[in-house]
Amino acid sequence: MKSCAAWWLVVTSVTSGWSAEWPFERPRETPLPEVRSHAQVRGPIDAFVLAKLEAEGLTLAIEASKRTLVRRLYYDLIGLPPPAETVASFVKSEDPDAYPKLVDELLDDPSYGERWARFWLDLARYADTSGYEGDPDMPHAWRYRDYVIDSLNRDKPYDLFIKEQIAGDEFHEVMGAGELPLPDPEKVVAMTFLRLAPFTEPRGDETRHELLSEMTSTVSSVFLGLTVGCAKCHDHKYDKIPIKDFYRLQAFFNTVQLMPPARGDAF
C-alpha cells in the first residue's frame, strides 16, 4: 500500500491517445517521456514532471537543504517534527543512502499508520456516534479505526484491504450444507466500513432502504471513484450509469441484517 501511489501515477498517466472514456480503460504502462535534463531524473515520476515543466520553459525548483528535507519527511510520513538530534545527525551524515534509510525508518514507525489512517477514515465516514436525533454511542467503533492503522503499518496489500471491508465474511469456501464457518474476527471488524454512516434504529422498509442506499453510494465513491449514488433516482447525467445499475449494485448488500441496537450501543 505504501508504494501504490507512485506506481499509479506512472501507470495511469493520461496521453492524447486515450479515449474519452478513460476512467473505464484498463491501466497500462506509459513509456517514460524524453527530457533534456537527464541528471535531474532520479525516478520515473521525475521524468513525467520534468517533461511537463520543460514544455513550459520551466525546470525543477532548487534542491531542498538536508535540514528542510528531514523536516518535510517527518511531517509528511508521521505528522510530527523530527527530534533535534535526528536533524543534526542527518545533516552531518555523508551516507548516500541516509535519505532512503530514514524513509524506511519512518514507514516502520507506528505513527505512520496513525497519521495516514485519518485520510481513509474520512472516506469511511468514521465516527464514534451514529448521528441523527439520539446520536447514540458506537462503543466498538475504535476497533475499525485500529484495523485501518494496523493495515497501513503492516503494509497490507490493497486488494486484500478492499475485500476485507466489503466481504470479510465471504473468505471461506462453502462446499456443502453443513454449519457455516465463523469468519475471522479481523475481517468482521473490517466490514465495519459498511456500517459507518449516520444511522437510525431500523424502522421498517424506509430506514432499511436508506441504509442499503448509503452502503451502495459509499462503496461506489470510495472503491470505484464514481458517484453511482446519483443514479438512485435518475440515469447518471454524464457517465453511462442507469438507475438499474444502482439497484443491481445495491442487490449485493440486500442480505445484510442489522439487529436493533441495545440501549447505549448502536452496533
Whether residue 103 is predicted with pLDDT greater than 50 in this model: the reply is yes
Mean pLDDT over residues 67-73, rounded? 96
Residue 38: pLDDT over 70: yes
Sign of the Cα pseudo-torsion (219, 224, 230, 234, in order) = negative
| b/e sequence 185-198, b meaning 16+ C-beta within 10 Å | eebebbbbbbbbbe
All cell numbers assigned to 17: 491517445
With left for phi above 0 and alpha for psi between -120 and 50, is residue 207 left, alpha or beta?
Answer: alpha
- CA 62 to each of CA 40, 45, 59: distance values in angstroms, whole numbers, following the listed order: 11, 17, 9
CB of 213 within 8 A of CB of 219?
no
Q: What is the pLDDT of residue 267?
A: 43
pLDDT at 13 exceeding the cut of 60: no
- Look at 7-21, 125-139, 156-170 and tell me which has the smallest mean pLDDT: 7-21
Q: How many CB atoms sit inside 10 A of residue 156's CB?
A: 15
Task: Give the tens place of pLDDT for each residue, 149-183.
Answer: 999 999 999 999 999 999 888 888 777 777 777 77
Name the residue with higher pLDDT: 112 or 43.
112
Cell numbers that stand for 137 in this block: 454511542
17-31, 46-60, 116-130, 185-199: segment of lowest average pLDDT: 17-31
Q: State percent of the chain over pLDDT 90.
A: 46
Query: What is the full DSSP assignment across 200-220?
Result: ----SHHHHHHHHHHHHHHHI
pLDDT surpassing 60 at residue 186: yes
- Model pLDDT for residues 84-100, shown as the tens digit of each residue: 999 999 999 999 999 99
Yes or no: say if 152 and 1 are a contact pair by the CB < 8 Å rule. Answer: yes
Instruction: For cell 499508520, name the residue.
Output: 113
Average pLDDT over residues 114-142: 85
Residue 76: pLDDT above 90?
yes
Whole-number pLDDT of residue 102: 96
Stronger pLDDT, 250 or 1, i.e. the higher one: 250
Give residue-wise pLDDT tens across range 191-220. Answer: 999 888 777 666 667 778 888 888 899 999
Q: Rounded CA gap, 55 and 141, in Å?
A: 50
| Residue 38 one-letter amino acid | H
Work out the widest C-alpha separation in the chain, in whole angstroms.
Answer: 69
